[in-house]
């Protein structure tokens, strides 16, 4: 029996791009269905239809890939860069046969855990604000962080784009006022850096050590590994 898809989901599951980018390609008339252009991303297709992109027949991926990368500094969370800078795709492409994509982003100078997959449904659910995915970071500042500021952040501050709830914040070591452990579930752009920059601190290092139940244990910086079946089940149950 033929499986039904929304056209943007079909394209995304074929490894061409993310679902959002797929919608843009469809609206631009870059995708054909049985030789015809359909500009509506939600147009329904089946696995029996002939979907073509850039002259090639595309098919949804049946087997999903799940990789956990401990991203180093100076690596972009993208699949390509027109300036030739190193990307996460460069770091995992030897391990995978299907096109995969990072879930969420870490900026170029932030290190740590990054989930990479071609499971578009899981990626979308983990990225959605309603999932409340917890992310833990260790942040090192150039100045000592005052107890007053730690308490203000714990109680909740407001930035230019709205309130910033923090799930947990503490000194990593009370004798070291330069290093802070912080947990957040919001996913706004550069949010952890911006919290501390709003108080005038300069961020020296930012490292994500925990993401949606996954940790860096046994995963050196710059290395990646496939998730275990137990970890995959945990993520799907989580969402």
What are the DSSP calls for 125-151, one per residue? Answer: HHHSGGG---EEEEEEESSPPPHHHHH
Residue 87 is given by DSSP the state: B
- Among 178, 168, 182, residue whose Cα is nearest residue 201: 178
Residue with tokens 């696995």: 47
Give the 3-state secondary structure of residue 223.
coil
Q: Which one of the listed residues 81, 107, 173, 176 is annotated catalytic?
A: 107
Say which residues have a Cβ less than 8 Å from residue 237's Cβ, sequence separation at least 6. Answer: none
H helix intervals, 39-167: 88-92, 120-127, 147-155
- Let me know if 81 is a catalytic residue: no
The catalytic residue positions are: 107
């Amino acid at each position: 029996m033929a499986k039904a898809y929304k056209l943007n989901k079909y394209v995304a599951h074929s490894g061409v791009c993310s679902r959002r980018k797929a919608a843009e390609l469809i609206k631009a008339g870059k995708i054909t269905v049985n030789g015809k252009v359909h500009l509506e991303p939600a147009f329904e297709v089946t696995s029996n239809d002939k979907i073509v992109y850039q002259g090639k027949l595309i098919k949804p991926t049946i087997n999903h890939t799940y990789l956990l990368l401990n991203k180093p500094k100076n690596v972009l969370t993208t699949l390509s860069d027109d300036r030739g800078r190193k990307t996460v795709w460069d770091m995992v492409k030897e391990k995978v046969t299907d096109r995969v994509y990072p879930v969420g982003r870490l900026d170029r100078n932030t290190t740590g855990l990054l989930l990479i997959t071609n499971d578009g449904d899981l990626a979308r659910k983990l990225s959605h604000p309603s999932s409340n995915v917890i992310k833990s970071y260790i942040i090192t500042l150039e100045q000592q962080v005052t107890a007053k500021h730690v308490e203000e952040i714990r109680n909740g501050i407001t930035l230019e784009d709205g309130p910033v709830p923090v799930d947990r914040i503490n000194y990593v070591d009370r004798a070291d006022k330069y290093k802070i452990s912080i947990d957040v579930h919001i996913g706004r752009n550069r949010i952890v850096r911006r919290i501390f920059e709003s108080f005038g601190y300069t961020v020296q290092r930012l490292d994500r050590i925990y993401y949606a139940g996954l940790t860096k244990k046994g995963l050196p910086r710059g290395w990646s590994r496939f998730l275990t079946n137990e970890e995959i089940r945990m993520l799907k149950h989580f969402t």
